[in-house]
Chain A
Amino acid sequence: MKVIVQKYGGSSVADPEKLKKIAEMVAAVKSEGYGIAVVVSAMGKTTNSLIELSNSVSKDPVRREMDMLLSAGERITMSLLCMALNDLGVEAISLTGSQAGIITNDRHNDARVIEVRPIRVQDEMDKGKVVVVGGFQGVSYKRDVTTLGRGGSDTSAVALAAALNAARCEIYSDVDGVYTADPTLVKEAKHLPEISYQQMQEMSTAGAKVMNSQAIQFAKESGIIIYARSTFKPGSETIIKTTKSGQTKGITSVVHENDVVRVILSYKNQAKDFNDLIKTLEEKQVTIKELNVAEAQSDEINSKASFVVSYKNVYGWENLKERLQERFKENIEFDFNLGALSIIGEGLNRDNETLLTSMSILENINVKVYGISTTSYRLSFLVAGKDLLKGVKAIHKRWIEENV
């Protein structure tokens, strides 16, 4: 039996009416003879409401309990979807991440999938049932409930697809795939019918919300082809798969990320200060990006380290910030109101032309650049948050719209 794994995001499952429509879609695929596992996110704003509840009892909620709290969201969706499927005469069974065998490490709120043992999923599928799995959640070897971080339902879906040796993984959301820029903000953005794992992963890392980067990593490792589609507007899609090298050239997309903060630490004693800072952040499981350390060679001047954090994804960020300020006093700076603008493509640092041209574009529209980092697939600029969209539009115009 050929297996298809489908995933439906939060806006696709926002209310009972939408769930009924999805049930019909699933039933249609099922009637074609496929085995189906459906991975669902929490309904609409459920996760945000739960986070708000936790904030009203604690400024710095314990991570293990946050996972216990948030994982309730997907359980609500999956049981309701099963009810809708059963109502259509399609036998269905819901399984939590734990029941589906999604085993993770114990890094709560941002757990990594270590292994998927889909024994129960396989059993139920063999009985002819549609299996609905709660996305975003897993279980640690300590039997604690874990969650996989933002966009983690994508990871659940792809990891499950790999473990079930699925023919494909279909990711449904309110967008019909991947665009050259965020189509809700840049109306000139073009739809990409196809993109490589590598570039998709760069886009995700740079802040594109369309797909989670660990999910792409899984797909790449196991060769699962991902079809990104719109739930309620069928027709077009983006296929994410291996493309032959040399097939894609130049710049494919412009990605941005709001709400990043740059942290700058000035210090004399690396072991005492810098290491301590990184350790504190690690304890709080804060992912840091674009780390740059400039160690001074003489005691006369301070060493400097800087990095950026997407602080909107960190539970209890305010509390953590206050603690760091108390600990490091005037030696730590938080540069808020920043945004990151990234150009994704191939061979971007082969020469400096893309960099130079991009900088002059930004300069011409008075967008000040506060930081640059490059890899061969990505050029990133830190700019003021208020300038971010203006920058994205100008860069997109030059590299995508005019670059035919």
Chain B
Amino acid sequence: MAVIVQKYGGSSVADTTKLKVIANNLSKRIKEGNKLVVVVSAMGKTTDNLIRTAKEITENIVPRELDMLLTTGEQVTAALLSIALNDIEIKSKSLNAFQLEILTTNDFNAARIRNLKAEKLKTLLNNFDAIIVTGFQGITEEGDITTLGRGGSDTSAVALAAAMDANCEIYSDVAGIYSADPRIHPTAKKLKYVAYDEMLEMSSLGAKVLHSRSVEIAKKFNIKLYCGSTFSDEEGSYVVDDYLEQPSVTGVSSMDKQTQVTISKLPLDYTIVHDIFKSVANHNLNVDMISVISNTTLNVSFTIIEDEKHHFQKALSEVLQDLPKLNIKYNSGYSKVSIVGIGMKSSSGVAAKYFDALKNIPVKLVTTSEIKISCLVEESYKDRAIKELIKMFEL
């Protein structure tokens, strides 16, 4: 008996007609001799609608209650899919995080999974062919419901696969992982294999195929991930530890809504740099591309997500209040464009080709790692930059 963990995203379960199609697909897999654990997201725009209703009541939403509210979405999908399966004589049962005891930290809205017991699932699979699990959610030790943050259903699925030592299949309306966003760049190639490290970079760089934490877990437990299309038989992509043919650059991804923060003419004192980033960390804020330039004074520049600008202003004013004449600039409307490839480690000349491709595009900031190069450009240059990179690296 092979156990497979599957996950269906919001657009795949958007209406009951789609749920019935999924039920039939599951039935085929079960008849081939598999037992299925199926993780589902909320239907279509349910989560957004619930958030909108909450905002009609207050702008200041209590995180615990938001999680209580949002987790109803997945419960509706799970129950309906189980009803659809039972209707075609497949023995199935839906379980929420409470019943499955998916223990998380008590960081409401962005909890992390601490522990989940596979025993209950294993026992249930003796009597049922499919267990439908509500994605995106967990419970605290006190028994309060938490959510894992946007895209958290991927994490639920991979965590379950790790606990069950099973393969994990992630289904969405995209047929796999592409070298660039296929909706904007239709010539993008579908990748048969992507390495965990590449996928991690791509997820955190803005490719929305997989939640990056789910890839971290997959990497940690060496879970083979498959990303495919819900409603077509087209073969998808595999996310694996390593694969043989590694081009130097595998894909290009981008992330919008970047703001560049520049603090110039700081006194030449590195403890200030430390204080700045300590304050930012204390406020639980993330900075991305960082550059520190020193000559007679210090210039510190880094990128943040536009939506968090307000929080940064607060954090920086706390630490820099003794230096009132300081010039802090916030430039918004940037995109980060990145190329990723584990082959980069063993090839030379990638940077040269990269800057050759971008020679006519004003680049504001650049950062690199062993397997990626990122640059910050104005949003209006984004598509052009991606196109040039696709051409240069034959993506």
Contact = CB atoms under 8 A, between A and B. Distances in A.
Q: Do A and B come from one complex?
A: yes
A72 B65 contact: no
Contacts of A79: 54, 65-66, 68-69
Interface residues of B, number: 39
Interface in A64-91: 64-66, 68-69, 71-73, 75-76, 78-80, 82-84, 86-87
A214 interface: no
B350 interface: no
A245 interface: no
B61 interface: yes
A80 B83 contact: no
Interface in A113-140: 120
Contacts of A60: 87
Interface string B46-81: 000010011011101110111011011101101110
B66 A62 contact: no
B177 interface: no
Contacts of B166: none
A75 B98 CA distance: 14
B90 to A, nearest CB: 11
Contacts of A64: 93
A63 B46 CA distance: 24
B86 interface: yes
A57 B72 contact: no
Contact of A72 (B19, B60, B66, B72): B72
Nearest to A70: B79
A262 interface: no
A83 B57 contact: yes
A143 to B, nearest CB: 6
Contact of A58 (B54, B87, B93, B144): B87
B125 to A, nearest CB: 17
Contact of B83 (A16, A20, A58, A75): A58
A98 B20 contact: no
A145 to B, nearest CB: 8
B99 interface: yes
A61 interface: yes
B69 A68 contact: no
Contact of B57 (A19, A61, A143, A144): A19
B66 A68 contact: no
A145 B71 CA distance: 15
B84 interface: yes
Interface string A1-27: 000000000000000100110000000
A171 interface: no
B33 interface: no
Contacts of A61: 83, 86-87
B53 A80 contact: yes
Contact of B54 (A68, A80, A94): A80
A93 interface: yes
Interface residues of A, number: 40
A98 B144 CA distance: 11
A252 B72 CA distance: 43
A165 to B, nearest CB: 24
A214 B79 CA distance: 27
A65 B60 contact: no
B65 A82 contact: yes
B156 interface: no
A53 interface: yes
Given A61-B87, A76-B69, A83 B79 contact: no
Given A80-B69, A86-B65, A54 B58 contact: no
B333 interface: no
Interface in A349-387: none
A82 B62 contact: yes
A57 B87 contact: yes
Interface in B16-60: 16-17, 19-20, 23, 50, 53-54, 56-58, 60
B94 interface: yes
Interface in A24-56: 50, 53-54, 56
22 contacts: A16-B57, A19-B57, A50-B76, A54-B83, A57-B80, A58-B83, A58-B86, A59-B87, A60-B87, A65-B80, A65-B82, A65-B86, A65-B93, A68-B75, A75-B71, A75-B72, A76-B50, A76-B72, A84-B57, A86-B58, A86-B62, A98-B98
Interface of A: 16, 19-20, 50, 53-54, 56-62, 64-66, 68-69, 71-73, 75-76, 78-80, 82-84, 86-87, 93-94, 96, 98-99, 120, 143-145
Given A50-B76, A57-B16, A57-B23, 13 more contacts: A20-B57, A54-B83, A58-B87, A60-B87, A62-B82, A68-B94, A69-B75, A75-B75, A76-B53, A76-B69, A79-B54, A93-B64, A98-B98
Closest 10 CB pairs of A and B: A69-B79, A58-B87, A72-B72, A79-B69, A87-B58, A68-B79, A79-B68, A57-B84, A16-B56, A56-B16
